[in-house]
Amino acid sequence: MGNKSCKRSNVSPSIITLRKEVHLGALKEVSEGLKQKGVQFVNLIVGVCYTRREGWAARETNLHRIIEGNPNNYERVIFLVGKTIKALNEDNTIHCFGFGDATTNTSRIFRFYREEVPSPGFEEAATRYNLIAKYARLTEKVSYDVIIRKAISVASQSRDQHHVLVIIASEPVSRSLDTQPGNPSVDDHEQNSINAIVMARNYRLSIVLVGVGEANEHMMRRLRNRITGADNFKFVDYTQIMSTNEPLERKENEFCLAVFEHLLTEITESERLHILR
């Protein structure tokens, strides 16, 4: 998966649709607000989870389904987040990775390009996702451990700069089949994800989990109960925000604010901890 060279792809019809639909004024308002608060430069890392609901049936909606000219939620999130952060991303590049598909499962990530180079812009990142999603073989096992550790590796190479990892997923961390429903204990996938979040505190790295599924309330419940003081990690329910009756421009603004509103605080705190170390 995702192992072609970093040559620009032809812009997908979905990107052309997004160019017309997305209210750039709402996104500019968020990015300008961040600048006014003192946020100057941010590196963006995107991790796309290629999984489906456990017990998924063929008749159910595949959230990664590509319908040209009708962007899915993953494409929309990449576009919105990338466009918002563009003004704060000096070289306009995005580190893009996938995980959770049949090839990588819960143990590895794959790069959007063969070379370990970032995507040249948010439209290219969304277009690249579009190409990969057409052929991805989805699985039902989810662990955020691998993508967080990969983001840590990226952040460790530029310790003087702040990074934001945006994980786009539709399912919570998987639990072992041996774990009985209602069992409060933490299994390996959950513990590994928690350990990775805690480890990320040692780096200039903020983590945002964006839920694009149909039942996002389950995604954060167990992790939230297990992590104390995780000011570097938060959950944003994209589906819930976009399902309200508010005008689209307001919903886009609210979503991007939810993703980035505490960024200055997170940057300041990570710099403080970095100095202390």
Determine the pLDDT at residue 200: 93
Beta bridge partners of 46: 96, 166
162 lies in some domain: yes
Residue 128, Cβ density class (10 Å: 0-12 exposed, 13-18 middle, ≥19 buried): buried
Cβ pair 147, 155 in contact under 8 A: no
59 lies in some domain: yes
Distance from C-alpha of 142 to C-alpha of 98, rounded to nearest angstrom: 12
Which structure tokens are listed for 123?
């439209």
13 lies in some domain: no
SS3 237: strand
Determine the pLDDT at residue 49: 93
207 lies in some domain: yes
Distance from C-alpha of 215 to C-alpha of 124, rounded to nearest angstrom: 29
Cβ pair 200, 150 in contact under 8 A: no
Residue 80, Cβ density class (10 Å: 0-12 exposed, 13-18 middle, ≥19 buried): buried
Contacts of 9 (CB under 8 A, 6+ apart): 124, 127, 128, 131
Determine the pLDDT at residue 188: 79
In sequence order, what E strands does the chain have?
A: 42-49, 94-99, 109-111, 162-169, 205-211, 233-237
69 lies in some domain: yes
Determine the pLDDT at residue 277: 52
Nearest Cα neighbor of 103 from 135, 151, 62 is 135
Cβ pair 110, 3 in contact under 8 A: yes
Distance from C-alpha of 115 to C-alpha of 155, rounded to nearest angstrom: 18
Cα 68 to chain centroid distance, Å, stands at 22
| Domain range enclosing 240 | 23-175+185-276
244 lies in some domain: yes
236 lies in some domain: yes
12 lies in some domain: no
pTM, to two decimals: 0.88
Residue 45, Cβ density class (10 Å: 0-12 exposed, 13-18 middle, ≥19 buried): buried
Tens-digit pLDDT string for the chain (277 aa): 544 445 556 777 887 888 887 777 777 888 888 888 777 888 999 999 998 765 554 456 788 988 988 999 999 999 999 999 888 887 889 999 999 888 887 789 999 987 778 899 999 999 999 999 999 888 877 889 999 999 999 999 988 889 999 999 988 776 554 555 555 556 777 888 889 999 998 999 999 999 998 766 666 666 666 776 667 898 999 999 999 999 988 999 999 999 988 887 888 777 766 655 5
The number of folded domains in the chain is: 1
Residue 226 belongs to a domain with what CATH number?
3.40.50.410
Determine the pLDDT at residue 183: 54
How does DSSP assign 183-226, residue by residue? --S--HHHHHHHHHHHHHTTSSEEEEEEE-SS-THHHHHHHHHH
Strand order in the sheet with 162-169: 109-111, 94-99, 42-49, 162-169, 205-211, 233-237
Neighbours of 186 (CB within 10 A): 18
Determine the pLDDT at residue 229: 64
Determine the pLDDT at residue 128: 94
